């Protein structure tokens, strides 16, 4: 080890997160369950293709009438 090496720095936030995970080891599993509940969904690609095929392109200026 070098004589000039500084000790490894950890921010207050990193220390807090490590302390929290040490106190609550089930926290990671709860976070993954929450993510699965809200974000990890099965996507029906055929339905999305039908949806995108039925879209009408938006005009450059939305409030202009088509006269």
Q: How do residues 17-61 score in pLDDT, each as one tens digit?
A: 999 999 999 999 999 999 998 888 888 999 999 999 999 887 788
DSSP state of 3: T
Give the E-state strand segments of the chain in sequence order: none
Cα angle: 53, vertex 55, 57; to 5 degrees:
120
Domain that holds residue 34: 27-53
> How many distinct structural domains can be found in the chain?
1
pTM surpassing 0.85? no
Is 9 domain-assigned? Answer: no
Is 63 domain-assigned? Answer: no
Is 59 domain-assigned? Answer: no
Is 10 domain-assigned? Answer: no
pLDDT tier for residue 10 given thresholds of 50, 70 and 90:
very high
Is 17 domain-assigned? Answer: no
Is 33 domain-assigned? Answer: yes
């Amino acid at each position: 080890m070098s004589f000039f090496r500084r000790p490894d720095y950890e921010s207050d936030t990193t220390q807090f997160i490590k302390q929290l995970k040490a106190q609550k080891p089930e926290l990671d599993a709860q976070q993954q369950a929450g993510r699965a509940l809200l974000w990890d969904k099965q996507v029906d690609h055929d339905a999305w293709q039908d949806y995108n095929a039925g879209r009408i392109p938006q005009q450059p200026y939305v409030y202009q009438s088509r006269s």
